[in-house]
Structure 1
């Protein structure tokens, strides 16, 4: 039954009353609120990607500032991802105990991988770090891996280099 067709006068009265109360609020929402809302398909503001610190000139202060702001935002996002994975692992362990080592293996692997990647990028930078220090850490790690092999695999032997 369509909303505007009532079966009797009692229903017609309550339909009219409902339209009188709901009509102005619906009009205000559709004509004023929704056209003025920012339309994001996600729940957080999406910033445009800016040039990284290695693409900035040394005297371009604005570019360096934007690169540092982008670095801080990326670090916060990566930290939250690791925290969410840690929470998932803790919940899985609490729920699946005593068989959690077997049943939470995939969640544990994801968390360990994310935590290791986070530490590779942001760990051991000290209290006051920025995009330049993180970039230098990445550069030094790449030089080390080129000379000695992947970090954690031990140093190359003399025979392997030749």
Structure 2
């Protein structure tokens, strides 16, 4: 009913014409150019291609080292978020299963503790500015220690007295 009244009214016809003139090119541009050229993703998060790790980069290849460092920092963020999710799951379980939470949430606690241990093995003691090179050196030193003294945390191997 309002459209019929606007079409009879000269002001209404003028406003409809102005709206059509302004709206038609915008709609045409979006439907014929923007939407066909927009790529659609079947996943929610952005996927980055994996680049060579720091041990695969040459010492004078700064670009490769930078890409490896950026990938390391992205991996650290993902691992930190996974650890946070596991911790929140355990906390939710303990709140939900209040009287018997130690028995019912034992699996989640073990999973969280193992993930926290692995996170600390890889990223612990690096600090806020630690990067891929520092983590690689930490891993190398840990492997050397384990070769000489056994697994970390098991105590040092007893050496036989030299005669």
The bucket for the TM-score relative to the shorter chain is 0.7 to 0.9
Deviation at 1:33, TM superposition (A): 7.2
Tell me, in whole angstroms, the C-alpha distance in 1 between the residues paired with 2:72 and 2:120: 15
Deviation at 1:127, TM superposition (A): 2.7
Deviation at 1:42, TM superposition (A): 2.2
- CA RMSD in angstroms, aligned pairs only: 2.0
Is there any run of 5+ residues in structure 2 with no aligned partner, and where? 1-29
Tell me, in whole angstroms, the C-alpha distance in 2 between the residues paired with 1:146 and 1:77: 30
- 3-state SS of 1:158 partner: coil
Question: How do 1:95-134 residues align onto structure 2 when only pairs under 5 Å count?
Answer: 95-134=96-135
- 3-state SS of 2:127 partner: coil
Tell me, in whole angstroms, the C-alpha distance in 1 between the residues paired with 2:149 and 2:65: 32
**What is the aligned partner in structure 2 of residue 153 from structure 1?**
154
Whether 1:49 aligns to 2:50 is yes
**What is the aligned partner in structure 2 of residue 20 from structure 1?**
none
Tell me, in whole angstroms, the C-alpha distance in 2 between the residues paired with 1:91 and 1:30: 46
Tell me, in whole angstroms, the C-alpha distance in 2 between the residues paired with 1:87 and 1:57: 41
Is there any run of 5+ residues in structure 1 with no aligned partner, and where? 1-28
Q: If the length of structure 2 is used for normalisation, what is the TM-score? A: 0.75
Q: If the length of structure 1 is used for normalisation, what is the TM-score? A: 0.75
Give the ranges of 4+ consecutive aligned residues of structure 1 lying more than 4 Å apart after TM superposition: 29-37
Bigger Rg, structure 1 or 2: 2
Whether 1:77 aligns to 2:65 is no
Deviation at 1:126, TM superposition (A): 2.1
- 3-state SS of 2:82 partner: helix
Change (3 A) 1:110 1:31: farther
Tell me, in whole angstroms, the C-alpha distance in 2 between the residues paired with 1:109 and 1:33: 50
Whether 1:66 aligns to 2:67 is yes
